[in-house]
A and B are shown apart, each in its own frame.
Chain A
Amino acid sequence: DTEVTQTPKHLVMGMTNKKSLKCEQHMGHRAMYWYKQKAKKPPELMFVYSYEKLSINESVPSRFSPECPNSSLLNLHLHALQPEDSALYLCASRGRGGGETQYFGPGTRLLVL
Chain B
Amino acid sequence: SQQGEEDPQALSIQEGENATMNCSYKTSINNLQWYRQNSGRGLVHLILIRSNEREKHSGRLRVTLDTSKKSSSLLITASRAADTASYFCATDRYRDDKIIFGKGTRLHILP
Contact = CB atoms under 8 A, between A and B. Distances in A.
Contacts of A48: 96-98
B100 A45 contact: yes
Interface residues of A, number: 28
Contact of A90 (B43, B96, B104, B106): B43
A68 interface: no
Contacts of B35: 104
A37 B104 CA distance: 12
Contacts of B102: 42
Interface string A23-50: 0000000010100000111111100101
A31 B40 contact: no
Contact of B97 (A4, A56, A90): A56
Interface of B: 2, 30-31, 33, 35, 40-45, 48, 88, 90, 92, 96-104, 106
Given A42-B88, A90-B43, A107-B42, A56 B31 contact: no
B97 A101 contact: no
Contacts of B30: 100
Interface of A: 4, 31, 33, 39-45, 48, 50, 55-56, 88, 90, 92, 94-95, 100-107, 109
Contact of A102 (B2, B33, B41, B106): B33
Interface centre among A90, A100, A109 (most CB of B within 10 A): A100
A39 to B, nearest CB: 7
B43 A56 contact: no
Given A42-B2, A45-B100, A50-B97, 14 more contacts: A39-B40, A42-B103, A43-B88, A56-B98, A90-B42, A92-B43, A100-B92, A101-B45, A101-B48, A102-B90, A102-B99, A104-B45, A106-B41, A107-B42
